[in-house]
Structure formats: structure tokens, C-alpha cells
Amino acid sequence: MPYHPLYDGLWHHEDLEGAPFEEKAFFIFLWSNPRMRPSGIYRVTDEQLAADAELPVKRVQAYLGDLSRRLRIVRDGAWVFVRGYFARQPKQERLLLGVQSDINSCSSVPILKSFGEKYPVFDKWSTDRLQKVSNPHNDMRSPDTDAVTEAVAVAVTDPKKLSCAANDAARHVLDWLIQKTGRGFRAKEPNLALIRARLADGFTDWQLKAIVSEKVEQWRNDPKMATYLRPKTLFNKTNCEQYFAELKLPPRPPDA
């Protein structure tokens, strides 16, 4: 599962001094909910937060405003940046690739600037992205570009970043899909590259397996939807994020 490095000093942190218990608990929810990304940057509406935390929307908005004033988060539209989260993450290669992916997906100028200021050593990532956000015509590649093209591009242009562990994990996920669907997907580069791209985004292999299991359960008896039980659909960047957000995750990884 994602690593959410909570620490007991958070309850008594000077930046949260005077905040009610519920607001502190809400901040911990922002820190550790399933939408959290390695960078601390993700998208979620006030209404989604209210539903997930089972709190009134107005109270959620009040807490978000106060946490912004306390500089614990940066909020811009549906974007949120939980400051300090990334600092407590182990700086492993796969996680850093996930952070870079988060930055490249973010379209909020205030949050990109804040990330660069908070983590100057990674400022080039946010600066490069800011240039594309400010000058969208300089970047003709849409974030919704077909996931196969995206994943194959990663595999071809930067093979050194694709570790043996990622290859093995991608094969395990594909084998799980084959086992669950009974279909003969081949371990060819387009299929494996899609899975590796999602692993680089920060997903674990068992989270991808959980998505497969959930969608097989939902779609296998529907002739139309069953056709979408394929790598191109399940491991598309946008789809995968949506499917993961809908999951009710098991207490432990599914048995392989």
C-alpha cells in the first residue's frame, strides 16, 4: 500500500496550534487518503472531501481555508498540495518517477510554484511544467494522449529507468489479468509498458491487481463491458486513477 509517514508530533505541531481536534484529524485525512500521490499533489473537490470524510461541505471548506492560512496546504481549485508530505518519503527511483509524473500532470500555477519553493532541488521539474502551463501551445501533447503511445514512449526513450523489478511486477500484473479473465494477453511491450507506466506513477503491483479483480467482478457478465477487460483500458492513466479511487481496498494485497 502507499506509504503515508505519519508522526505523533503532528498532533502538537506548532503550525496546528489552536486548531480543533477535528481539523487536525481532517489534515491527517488529507495526508493519508487514497488519492494521495508521492509528491503530495492531487486533485479532489470540496464535495468529494466532504463525502469521503463524512463532514459538511462548509466545515470542510473552513478547514481547508485555515490549513491554507497555516501554510500546511496549498489549495487552488480542485488541486491540493500537502506541504511536507514528499519530504518524509523515501527517495527511491520509482517514487521519484511518480513525483515527476505528478508534476507533469499538474495544471495549477500556484501549486507548481509552491512545490518548487518547498523543494528547491526539484525546482527544474516544476519550472519546466510551469512553462508548459503558461504556454500551452508549446506543448502539443495532451495529457489525455493514448496511454499506449505514452507508455511505449517511456520504454523507448528512457529504458534505464525501467528496472528489472518493474518488469517483473508488470509481468505479475499481466499474469493476474490473464488468470482472472481467461484471455490470452501476450507479454509484449505495449501491454507491459502500460503497466510499467502506472507503476512509475506510484501504483503498487497489488493495487493494479486489485483494480483488475474489481473490474472483472463488475464486468465479466456484461458482454459489452467484458470487452474492456484489457490492458489498454484498465491501465490507461486516466482510467486507472478513476478505478483506484473507486476501490474499497482489502486489508492486505490479494494473493497472487
Q: Give the domain-ending residue among 138, 156, 174.
A: 138
- Is 252 a domain residue? no
| Mean pLDDT score, 212-224 | 91
Percentage of the chain beyond pLDDT 70 is: 78
- Is 1 a domain residue? no
CB–CB of 195/174 below 8 Å?
yes
Same domain assignment for residues 73 and 32:
yes
Query: Residue 7: what pLDDT?
Result: 66
- Is 208 a domain residue? yes
Q: Give the domain-ending residue among 48, 69, 87.
A: 87
Give me the amino acid identity at 110.
Answer: P
Q: Return d(Cα 103, Cα 80) in angstroms, integer.
A: 12
Same domain assignment for residues 179 and 241:
yes
**Domains: count for the chain:** 3
- pLDDT tens for 131-173 read 776 665 444 333 333 444 344 444 444 444 445 666 778 888 9
Same domain assignment for residues 151 and 218:
yes
Same domain assignment for residues 241 and 152:
yes
Provide φ and ψ at 235, rounded to 5°: -110, 15
- Is 126 a domain residue? yes
Domain of residue 183 covers 147-246
For residue 146, give every residue at least 6 positions away whose Cβ sits within 8 Å of its Cβ, in sequence order, or none: none
Same domain assignment for residues 174 and 102:
no
Q: Return d(Cα 13, Cα 11) in angstroms, integer.
A: 6
Average pLDDT of the chain to the nearest whole number: 80
Please state whether the predicted TM-score (pTM) of the whole model is above 0.95. no
- pLDDT tens for 51-106 read 999 999 999 999 999 999 999 999 999 999 999 888 877 666 667 777 888 888 88
Same domain assignment for residues 166 and 121:
no
Cβ-in-10-Å burial (0-12, 13-18, 19+) of 251 comes to: exposed
CATH code, 45: 1.10.10.10
